[in-house]
Amino acid sequence: MDENKAAFEPRIIAFVCNWCTYAGADLTGTSRIKYATNVEIVRFPCTGRIDFMLLLKAFAAGADGIIVSGCHPNDCHYTSGNFHARRRWIVFRGLLDFLGIDVRRIHYYWVSAAEGAKWAEVVNQTVAEIRELGPYTEYKKVANYIEETEAAHE
């Protein structure tokens, strides 16, 4: 790994469901399992709520990588929200790729309330992979351009 990538601390935004992954992440803390501190958690009732614009807004806000994580299949608190999220992801992925978004920066997982150790692994693995990719400067350049253009027309 080159020196710049080793020094780079990725900013990861994690969209997690309240009932499984958020509780799992809480268990990581109460179990005193150490893991990378690069992640900012955004709690949702269910991953079925995640939409395309949230992913773009996370990148626009400076994320280098995104985690979406919810209940395992058949464990969703709302029966099928995680299946809807998974289907949406298949559609989003193609659309994001078409728009030039680096889809390697978006990671999708299932983490239950009992999997505190898995949450730590998920975060550590994502941080390592995003660190290897480097800062997501391409998206930030586009986001800054859009912001400046909008400001100029106000």
Binding site for ligand FES (CB under 6 A): 17, 19-20, 46-48, 70-71, 76-78, 81-82
C-alpha span between 47 and 15 (Å, rounded): 8
Task: State the chain's maximal CA–CA distance in angstroms.
Answer: 52
- When the beta carbons of 38 and 82 are compared against ligand FES, the nearer one is 82
Q: Are residues 69 and 109 in contact, defined by beta-carbon separation less than 8 angstroms?
A: yes
- When the beta carbons of 108 and 139 are compared against ligand FES, the nearer one is 108
C-alpha span between 32 and 5 (Å, rounded): 28
The distance of closest approach from Cβ of residue 47 to ligand FES in the complex, given in angstroms and rounded to an integer, is 4
- When the beta carbons of 13 and 17 are compared against ligand FES, the nearer one is 17
